[in-house]
Structure 1
Amino acid sequence: MAQKQYNVTGMSCEHCVASVTEEVSAVPGVNEVVVDLAADTVTVHGTDLDDERLRAAIVEAGYGVDAPVAA
């Protein structure tokens, strides 16, 4: 299973966590999404993870996303 982690800007509450989790979970290949509100990170576990689609899902949820964190 692959893992990708992103720094996400603009998250401030549990609603933010739910929004990001919902959007990212809909990306093909995603098995698990872990949002760390305190660290402003989103960690995605799955197979054949598409970086572009994952970043687009975070933006679709309404948040900024920096380059992936080295995992």
Structure 2
Amino acid sequence: MPVVKVKGMSCQHCVKSVTEALKALKAKDISVDLLSGDVTYAEETPITPDAVKEAITKIGFEVEA
């Protein structure tokens, strides 16, 4: 599963926002770990890492490179 490190999440609302942003890209099996900042999604999801980064930054979070 691809892993994206997200900075700036502090609550369950943040988790929901990131999850919804990835669902909009048709990502599957999304998991957001609030404490570590790790976001994972199914490898067979047909989206690019750049699209994931853009979707997350659009909602106000920072993606570590």
TM-score by length of 2: 0.87
Q: Percent identity?
A: 38
CA root-mean-square deviation? 1.2
The CA distance in 2 between the partners of 1:49 and 1:36, in whole Å, is: 20
Point out where structure 1 has 5 or more consecutive residues left out of the alignment: none
Among 42, 53, 57, the residue aligned to 2:39: 42
**CA apart distance, 1:66:** 0.9
**CA apart distance, 1:62:** 1.2
Task: Give the structure with the larger helix fraction.
Answer: 2
Corresponding position: 1:20 with 2:18: yes
The count of residues paired between Structure 1 and Structure 2 equals 64
In structure 1, the residue matched to 2:30 is 33
